[in-house]
Amino acid sequence: MLGMMQDWEMRVSALLDYAASEQPEREIVTHWADGSETRTDWRGLRRDALKMVQALRRLDVYPEARVATLGMNHARHLTAWFGVTGAGCVLHTINPRLFDDQLDYIVNHAQDRVLLYDAAFQPIVDRMKPRWPTIEHYICFDSGEHAPAFEDWIGREDGAAFWSPGDEHQPCMLCYTSGTTGHPKGVLYSNRTNVLHTLAMIAPSCLAIEPRSCVLPVVPMFHANNWGLPWACAATGAKMVYSQVNDPEVLCRLMEQERVSHVGGVPTVWFSLFQHLDETGADLPPFKVALSGGSAVPYSVVERLMRNGVRVMQAWGMTETSPIATVTWEPPEWDDMSFEEQVAYKSSQGRQVFGSEVRVVSLDGGGAELPHDGTSAGALQVRGGWTIRRYFGETDDATGGGQWFETGDVATISPSGVLRLTDRTKDLIKSGGEWISSVELENAAVRHPDVLEAAAIGVPHPRWTERPVLVVVRRPGAALSEEDLCGFLSGMVAKWWLPDAVEFVAAIPHTGSGKVSKKELRALYRDYRLPA
């Protein structure tokens, strides 16, 4: 026996229909790289997306085909999100910071048939074209110099079309992640998982996005489903602000000018924002909610945001989890917590969102679930309504028993369910049979006022197997010494965790998605000789 309610397929196109019906004139603002600004609204965006559906059909690009984008954040890219998925095709957002071999691999693996790209990436297109045989059509988001221009391409259509109907389990989006070893792997989201993730993330205990919100996703659109923000904004008809460039001055002006309420960015975004404010003496524009993820946001950054009245929502997740799985929702005792306790909680990875489950299991084989005691660090696993089952094109599931997916992160869970990442599995430093958390070392180091950035890696040691070396970027003008820093750290971490050496450098290498590249760092220090 089944319930007797209506059939209702959860399709991402329905989100756009809702926005266009309820808030047709709510704007989507774009700041372009050339400094110009354009405005459309949900009604306009829907009309353009429908035109794009027609334009794709005219190219014989039909449901299930992969349509790729190589673009920064702007309204035309957003139109492509809804146009591609509305045509029943799969939107493949490519990270332009990938290396050529990766760009080669993922386009051929996805068998992309169309590529829409920013003119700024013309060099990539020119270089890669011979290696991308599956791509039949190139469309340029900006000008029509080297390829048909997007506006011209859809401009020939009248928009009198319908979304491609279908099952909610049909795919709508493909994001590759290079967070794992080997080739990048594709995560194929379905319409259903994106709608469910949307409903979870607009909740008051998550982002609290509602019709009055104005959302500025600084996180790139090619990054992990743009954190789900386009879908979440459509689901409420919220205003959106996109910038093709990440200049903090531009971002601050947009926040003021457009009355932004929600900003989503990785920790680097907050760093550069604060640096800009310090340099100019300006105030933080008055936005309400900061969604931070991608890597751990330091205590000091959380503190500064909170002192400015911002509600900090640190979330943990991965491309494989759509991405939000846990978030720092405020518990009932929130108002009774001291400011320091509040900041400390907001510096954690938060708690489960309904629809996602996390657990930590023993690192040393066996996989026994570890207690929620806040100290037992184990391999973090996740499962739920918007977590991956199998990578695109693979024949085996990426999950183990009970659908648990191995995240590669190391974490503890407190008795009240607070998740704290202590490391990535492969970034742990094993010293004398014990684990040292590079993340905790780094977090401790960046609390020193003279430290701009810090990364800890393990280097081979004859006696202890590995010992930590801390690579540090000093604040400009600061005269911090190794002794100073180790003295500072000794109050915060166990004595045997103290680094055997501190290396002061001008810059630390980052990955294409802006995270510290431990891989590159390890390569750089491969032949490093620890002081005797």
Ligand X SMILES: Nc1ncnc2c1ncn2[C@@H]1O[C@H](COP(=O)(O)O)[C@@H](O)[C@H]1O
* Contact residues: ligand X, CB under 6 A: 177, 179, 224, 293-296, 314-319, 323, 349, 407-409, 421, 424, 513
Is there a catalytic annotation at residue 303? no
Which residue is catalytic, options 37, 375, 430, 496? 430
Asked if 5 interacts with its own copies (CB under 8 A), we say yes
Site for its own copies in 170-209 (CB under 8 A): 170-172, 187-193, 196, 199-200, 202-205, 208-209
Is there a catalytic annotation at residue 465? no
The angle subtended at Cα 393 by Cα 388 and Cα 399, nearest 5°, is 30
- Residue 237 beta carbon to its own copies: minimum distance, rounded to whole angstroms: 8
Identify what 193 binds: its own copies, ligand X, none; CB under 5 to 8 Å per kind. its own copies
Q: At what angle do helices 299-307 and 267-280 cross, to 10 degrees?
A: 60
Is there a catalytic annotation at residue 129? no
CB nearer its own copies, residue 21 or residue 275: 21
Question: How far, in Å, CA of 35 to CA of 416, rounded?
Answer: 48
Which one of 294, 323, 355, 458 is in contact with its own copies (CB under 8 A)?
355
Q: Which two tokens stand for residue 279?
A: 């340099």
Residue 402 CB coordination number (10 Å): 9
Binding characters for its own copies, 392-431, by CB under 8 A (x = yes)? x------x---x-------------x--------------
Q: Mention every residue, 6+ apart, whose C-beta is less than 8 A from residue 508.
A: 453, 455, 471, 473, 516, 521
Question: How far, in Å, CA of 12 to CA of 15, rounded?
Answer: 5
CB nearer ligand X, residue 149 or residue 206: 206
Asked if 26 interacts with its own copies (CB under 8 A), we say yes
Verify cis geometry, omega within 30 degrees of 0, for the bond prior to 462. no
- Residue 427 beta carbon to its own copies: minimum distance, rounded to whole angstroms: 26
CB nearer ligand X, residue 131 or residue 183: 183
Burial of 44 (0-12, 13-18, 19+ CB in 10 A): middle
Asked if 511 interacts with its own copies (CB under 8 A), we say no
Asked if 215 interacts with its own copies (CB under 8 A), we say no
Asked if 279 interacts with its own copies (CB under 8 A), we say no
- Residue 356 beta carbon to ligand X: minimum distance, rounded to whole angstroms: 13
Question: How far, in Å, CA of 485 to CA of 478, rounded?
Answer: 12
- 270 phi-psi bin (left φ>0, alpha ψ -120 to 50, beta other): alpha
Tell me, by CB under 8 A, how many residues bind its own copies. 67
Is there a catalytic annotation at residue 425? no
Q: State the residue for tokens 């904004």.
A: 233
Nearest to 323 by CA among 212, 231, 399: 231
- Which helix H or strand E contains 317, and what residues bound it? strand 311-317
Interacting residue ranges for its own copies, rule: CB under 8 A: 1-8, 10, 14-15, 18, 21-23, 26, 64, 167, 169-172, 187-193, 196, 199-200, 202-205, 208-212, 235-236, 239, 322, 329-332, 334, 351-352, 354-355, 383-392, 399, 403, 417
Q: Which residues are catalytic?
A: 177, 320, 430, 435
